A and B are shown apart, each in its own frame.
Chain A
Amino acid sequence: MKWAAGVVAVIAAAAVPWLQARVDRARGGTQAQDEVLYLWQGAHVKRLFPGFEHLAADIYWLRTVQYFGGERVFGRNTRFDLLFPLIEITTTLDPRMEIAYRYGSVFLAEPVPIGAGRPDLGVEVLERGVRNNPSSWRLAQELGFFHFVYLKDPKRAAEILVEASRIPGAAYWLKSLAAEVLSKGGERDIARRMWREMYETSDGAIKENARTHLLILDAADAAARLSALVVRFHERAGRLPRALGELHAAGLTREPLVDPIGVPFDYDSQTGKVEVSRRSYLRRDDLMGDKQ
């Protein structure tokens, strides 16, 4: 009797996991709960946290990051429906949280499944950021980038970059970049310069995103170079190469026939067209509508 209570406790405790497994089997196991947002407007949330708005902004920002990461990795439809309202709430609670505008706009603008595929909302977020932080040249610079890269609006992009260059402390190269945008030079070159500037002046996910975009441009350039070599091969041999490997065999190039992440280029031996493979995440038709 002395040990009875202890024995009962051990047996009962050991039964709990077994019973839980039975319950899981009976009920179909645990299911990940869908993300729910009860309050959709920052102004409403703000009223709930008088004096603690910034703490609430931090919590909402953490939730935004977790939601974005969670949807990317575990999401079933990867629609990022809550992304924009979460960013809106975060930036209403703390209008000076630059990081929320910068990362939030990237999360929104990148195409599905990398991001929400809503560059228009990304621009909206950055416009809000510029309004709320008129002394931040970096936000204005990114708004200019977005207008150029995602909305394909070089005129507006140049205007914004000129405005950004007037902000005290702004990077010296903003003015020349604006001029370059307006000069109607090769769009890919300007885009490359913009992404390089962003890569060199940022860190974290924004730097990583800029690096990916530079690789996208490198891949597109390499495909264009190979296409030109295919034409030269045709001129020499009177036929199109059956495979890209023939360019090497003919001594026309020593360039690798894979994109910067190692995925072989797609080659259509009927038309001679070389493209970044559909299997490669460096293929971005939405960004490559321009012609060099």
Chain B
Amino acid sequence: MGLSRMAAVAANTFRESVRERVLYNLVFFAILMTLSGLLLSQLSIRQDEKIIKDIGLAAMELFGHLIAIFIGIGLVSKEIERRSLYPLMAKPLSREELFLGKFAGLAFTLLVNVGAMAAGLFATLLLTRGEADPALLKAVFGIYLSLLLVVAVAMLFSTVTSTALAAVGTVCLLLAGRFSDVVKNMKQVAPDVPDTLVDVLYYALPNFRNFDLKDKVAYGDFVPWSTLGWITAYNIAYITAVLALGVLCFRRKQFQ
């Protein structure tokens, strides 16, 4: 597997995704939502800073996920549907390199987007409070990890099914992963469910709650570096598994 070829695919994917109009719309709305915190904070009582942080981080997460899903799904499936994949297949480029390169490209696009949205949030806080807590970056990092996992899942689904179904599947998995606490405590409401099923579901579903540091950071709680280390390790392991599965599916895919 050639890293230089993967880097070329990644660079191309980045160029391709920054041309997507939806990307700019979503980033615009995210920044607009963050700025709306300025107005909303005026309507609250003594909650201005927290509301700006909550809205800014939530906008980043929500719109980041939308970008990750919409662009992540389109990366592979659009190429297949538009048949623009065939010329690439003819080049000295393996399917693994193509798949992983596309992931790396979108990961970089998301990094730029998250950076822009974080800059919007910091600017809003600086405008209103005159200071912005750098610890917010820990929550931003958590959001970015979550987005990477969503992209990996979206790409996996897009190799095995149509664009629409891949979108539905990714959103469902994202929601299921956000309800991981419900899954873990399932026996409280359904005592007859076998323990094994609960465990399998809990550990198999991507636990998106892990990456959610927004609440802690918004209250100024200290998030230990070890926590960031563990969630990063979890993220890498999960993404590796999903991408490996995606590569397998992509390798076996018949293009007609």
Contacts and interface: CB of A to CB of B under 8 A. Distances in A.
Interface of A: 47, 50-55, 57-58, 61-62, 65-66, 94, 96-97, 99, 103, 203-205
Contacts of A204: 45-46
17 contacts: A51-B209, A52-B58, A54-B214, A54-B215, A55-B55, A58-B44, A58-B47, A62-B44, A65-B43, A65-B44, A94-B215, A96-B219, A97-B47, A99-B45, A103-B46, A204-B45, A205-B45
Q: Which 10 pairs between the two chains have the least Cβ-Cβ distance? A: A50-B178, A55-B58, A58-B51, A54-B54, A51-B178, A55-B54, A58-B54, A54-B215, A99-B46, A51-B212
Contact of B218 (A54, A65, A99, A205): A54
Contacts of A50: 175, 178-179
B46 A58 contact: no
Contacts of A97: 47, 50
Contacts of A203: 46
B17 to A, nearest CB: 25
Contacts of A99: 45-47
Contacts of A52: 58, 61-62
A62 B43 contact: yes
B215 A58 contact: no
Nearest to B62: A52
Contacts of A51: 61, 178, 208-209, 212, 214
A260 B46 CA distance: 28
Main secondary structure of the interface of B (DSSP, over half): helix
A58 B55 contact: yes
B40 interface: yes
Interface in B208-256: 208-209, 212, 214-215, 218-219
Contacts of A205: 45
Contacts of A58: 40, 44, 47, 50-51, 54-55
Contact of B43 (A47, A57, A66, A103): A66
A65 B215 contact: no
Interface of B: 40, 43-47, 50-51, 54-55, 58, 61-62, 175, 178-179, 182, 208-209, 212, 214-215, 218-219
A61 B54 contact: no
A47 B40 CA distance: 24
A97 B218 CA distance: 11
Contacts of B47: 58, 61, 97, 99
A51 B175 CA distance: 10
Nearest to B212: A51
Contacts of A55: 54-55, 58
Nearest to B208: A51
Given A58-B50, A62-B51, 16 more contacts: A47-B182, A51-B61, A51-B178, A51-B208, A51-B212, A52-B61, A53-B215, A54-B215, A58-B44, A58-B54, A65-B45, A97-B47, A97-B50, A103-B45, A203-B46, A204-B46
Most chain A CB inside 10 Å of its own CB: which residue of B44, B61, B62, B182: B44
A35 B182 CA distance: 32
Contacts of B62: 52
A51 B218 CA distance: 13
Contacts of B43: 62, 65-66
A268 to B, nearest CB: 41
B77 to A, nearest CB: 26
A55 B60 CA distance: 12
A94 B58 CA distance: 14
A52 B175 CA distance: 12
Nearest to B218: A54
A54 B215 CA distance: 7
Contacts of B178: 50-51
A53 B179 CA distance: 12
A52 B209 CA distance: 11
